[in-house]
Amino acid sequence: MKPDVKHMKWWGWGEEGVFFNYLNKPAFAPFVKKALNIDLRPRKIDTIAFDPATVAESEVPGALLEALVAATDADQVTTDAHERVVHGHGSSVTELLHVSRGDYGRLPEVVVYPRTDAEVAAVLAAAVEQDAVVVPYGGGTNIARSLQLDPAERRPIVSLDTGLLAGLYELDEEAGLARVGGGMQGPALEEALNDRGWTLGHMPDSFTHSTVGGWAATRSSGMQSDKYGDIADIVRGMTVVRPSGTVSLKPVPSESTGPSLREMFIGSEGRLGVITELWVQVHRLPAERTVVAYMYPEWKTAVAAIRQISDEEIPTTFVRISDGNETGFSLATQKAATTVKKKVEAAGQKGLWALMRKRGWDTDQMCISYVCFEGSAEDVARRRKAVDKIAKTHGALVLGTGPGALYDQKKFDTPYLRDFLLEQDVMGDVSETAAPWSKLNGIHRAVYAAAEKAYQQLGRKGWVMCHLSHSYHVGACLYFTFAFKVGDNPDAEYALLKTSIQQAFVDNGGTLSHHHGVGMEHAPWMEQVVSAEGVAIMRSLFDATDPGRNLNPGKIIDPAISLFDALD
C-alpha cells in the first residue's frame, strides 16, 4: 500500500484538475499575441495518463531492498513506476518539459518513506553499506534541479521521501517556537498553527506543495519575508540525521558558538544529511491584515519609493513592485467583469487609466505596487498613512485595498500558468537575484539587455518582466520571468536565456539566487559568487562528511549536468 502522502501530478505543477484558464480573461490572448506573436489555443490536455509500461523495471539490488524494508517496513518501500517518476524530478521547466513528454531521465530505483529519526538513520546506514545514493525528497517543487539525477550514476538511487516525518509536535507559546516535522507541507503546518492562534508567516509561491525541510534545505524565502524573515531567520534549531550520527541543534535566539552549523545545514540541499525536525519561530495571528495597491508612473520612481519605505524603517509584511511589463501582464490576467460591482470597477479602472494618460504617464511603463500591513488596527492605519505619503511624494496614485485583496487571493494560482504555456509550446521560467539598493536599477537594465540579445540570437520574439520583493536594509530581491516559443532544441534555447540572465546578475553586482537555491542549475556560477577558495572549502566539507558521495551528489558544486552543456 502506498503511504498517505500528497504529491503533485507526475507531469506538471500542483493538483490534477486545476488549470490556468485564459478564456475568462479577455485581455490575455491579445497580450500573448503582442508579447510572443502567438495565437493561443484552448487548453486540450486535462491530464496525461501515466503508462507504467513506459518506465523500465527497477533494477534495485535485492539486498538493498531487503535492508530498506528492515530499516522501515514493507509498506514504506516501493519500486512502483509512478512513484519512481514522481520522485525522479523537481519542478524546473526543463524537467517538466521532458517528463511530460515521457522522457524521464535517470530515475531512482526505489522510494522509501521513513516515519522516525531512527528509521531515517537505518535507511542511511543501509544505503551507505550497499553503496547506494540517497536523495531526500520534500515536495519536489524546487526549480534549481536539486533533485535531478545524474544519468551516469551507476549505483542504485534511493529517494527518501520525508512525507511521513510530518506534524506539529510541540508549541512553546511563551517563546514563540514550534517543533515541526521536516516533511510537513505548508498548508498543513499553517492550519495547525492557525488553529492555535499562531502563524509561521512563511509563504513561498510554492507554499501549497513544498515542505519545511525543503524550505530549509534550499534556503527559501516567502513573499512575507519583510516581516517574518527568510527561512534562515525562521529556523532556530534542527535535527539532522546523517549516516555517521545525528546533529541536534537546540532552539536559541542567537549564539556565539563558532561557525554556525545551523547556517551550514540551511541550503545544504540534501548533501549533509536529512533534516528530520525543525524548531521554527512563530508569531501570533495579526489582528488585522490589509494589502494596499499603488500605481507608480515608472520603475525608477517606484524603486526609490520602496527604498525610502525601507530607509524610514516602516514595518511592512511585504512590499512588491512590478515593472511596466509585469504590470501589463497582471492587468492582462484580470477576469472579465461579470457582476454589476465588477463592471463598475472595470469602468472606474478605464477612467483611471485615462486620467494617468492625461497626466502624461506612459501606461506601458506604469508599475503596480502592493504593500501589506499587519498588526493592530491602529498600527496598520498609522503605517499605511506613512507609506501613502511616501508613495504620493514619488508621484504614485493610491489605488486602495480592492486590487490588493485580489492579489492576495490569486497568489497561488499563477504556478499553473507554466503547464498551460508548455501545452502552447511556450517555455516560461524565472531567475531571481538579490543586490544592494545601489545596484538594482543597473541589474534591471542589464537583464533586459541580456534577454533581448538572447531572443535576437534565437531569432524570435520573447518576453521578460520583473518585480522587486523581499526588501532588506541594504537591498532587495529582483525576480525576473521570461517566456518564449520553443523551437527545435528547447534545452539549448532555455539554456541560452537562463545563462544570459544569470550572467547579467553576477556581472552587475547581484547574487546567483535569492531564494531558489543552487542545485545543478546554478552550480556553474558558484566560483564567481563565492570565489574559488569558497568552493574549495565547500568541496572539502562535502568530501569529508560524505566520503562515499552517497548524499545527493553533484548539487551546489561540481554539477553532474551543466546548463552550459546544452549550449555546445
Ligand X SMILES: Cc1cc2nc3c(=O)[nH]c(=O)nc-3n(C[C@H](O)[C@H](O)[C@H](O)COP(=O)(O)OP(=O)(O)OC[C@H]3O[C@@H](n4cnc5c(N)ncnc54)[C@H](O)[C@@H]3O)c2cc1C
**What gap in Å lies between CA 303 and CA 51, rounded to an integer?**
50
- From 156, 251, 415, 475, residue interacting with ligand X (rule: CB under 6 A): 415
- From the list 274, 205, 227, 217, the residue with the least C-alpha distance to 412 is 205
Kindly give, in sequence order, each residue whose CB lies less than 8 Å from that of residue 168, ignoring residues fewer than 6 positions away: 178, 179, 180, 184, 189, 192, 193
Closer CB to ligand X, residue 204 or residue 490? 204
Q: Annotated catalytic residue: which of 113, 296, 455, 479? A: 479
Sign of CA dihedral 331, 335, 340, 342: negative
CB of 512 to ligand X, least distance (A): 14
- From 58, 78, 141, 424, residue interacting with ligand X (rule: CB under 6 A): 141
Count CA atoms closer than 13 A to 82's CA, side-chain side: 9
- From 76, 199, 218, 281, residue interacting with ligand X (rule: CB under 6 A): 218
**What gap in Å lies between CA 220 and CA 13, rounded to an integer?**
18
Binders of ligand X: how many residues, by CB under 6 A? 38
**What gap in Å lies between CA 216 and CA 268, rounded to an integer?**
8
- From 72, 76, 78, 142, residue interacting with ligand X (rule: CB under 6 A): 142
Helix, strand, or coil (residue 25): coil
Instruction: Verify binding: residue 215, ligand X, rule CB under 6 A.
Output: yes
**What gap in Å lies between CA 22 and CA 24, rounded to an integer?**
5
Kindly give, in sequence order, each residue whose CB lies less than 8 Å from that of residue 568, ignoring residues fewer than 6 positions away: none
Confirm whether residue 32 is marked as ligand binding. Answer: no
What DSSP assignment string belongs to 115-129?
-SHHHHHHHHHHHHH
157-161 vs 110-112, strand pairing mode: parallel
- From 440, 515, 522, 542, residue interacting with ligand X (rule: CB under 6 A): 515
Using CB under 6 A, which of the segments 36-44, 150-158, 379-387, 510-518 binds ligand X?
Answer: 510-518
Instruction: Verify binding: residue 130, ligand X, rule CB under 6 A.
Output: no
Closer CB to ligand X, residue 215 or residue 299? 215
Does the annotation mark 407 as catalytic?
Answer: no
Closer CB to ligand X, residue 394 or residue 498? 498
Q: H or E element: which one contains 169?
A: strand 168-172
Closer CB to ligand X, residue 295 or residue 466? 466
Helix, strand, or coil (residue 546): coil
Using CB under 6 A, which of the segments 71-79, 113-121, 142-150, 343-351 binds ligand X?
Answer: 142-150
**What gap in Å lies between CA 407 and CA 475, rounded to an integer?**
24
CA dihedral 281, 285, 288, 294 (to 10 degrees): 40
Closer CB to ligand X, residue 108 or residue 475? 108
What's CA 352's distance to the chain center, in Å? 34
Closer CB to ligand X, residue 386 or residue 541? 541
Instruction: Verify binding: residue 424, ligand X, rule CB under 6 A.
Output: no
Helix, strand, or coil (residue 281): strand
Within positions 154 to 173, which residues make up the interface with ligand X, using CB under 6 A?
162
Instruction: Verify binding: residue 186, ligand X, rule CB under 6 A.
Output: no
- From 58, 130, 146, 327, residue interacting with ligand X (rule: CB under 6 A): 146
- From 88, 90, 156, 559, residue interacting with ligand X (rule: CB under 6 A): 90
Using CB under 6 A, which of the segments 36-44, 218-226, 305-313, 355-363 binds ligand X?
Answer: 218-226
Q: Which three cell numbers stand for residue 486?
A: 520553443
Extract the runs of DSSP E, i.e. beta strands, from 62-131: 77-78, 110-112
Instruction: Verify binding: residue 136, ligand X, rule CB under 6 A.
Output: yes
Instruction: Verify binding: residue 86, ligand X, rule CB under 6 A.
Output: no
Closer CB to ligand X, residue 269 or residue 326? 269
CB of 464 to ligand X, least distance (A): 18
Binding positions are 205-211, 218-221, 269-275, 418
Residues that bind ligand X (CB under 6 A): 90-91, 135-143, 146-147, 162, 182, 204-206, 210-211, 213-215, 217-218, 220-222, 269-270, 274-275, 415, 515-517, 552, 555
Catalytic positions, please? 479
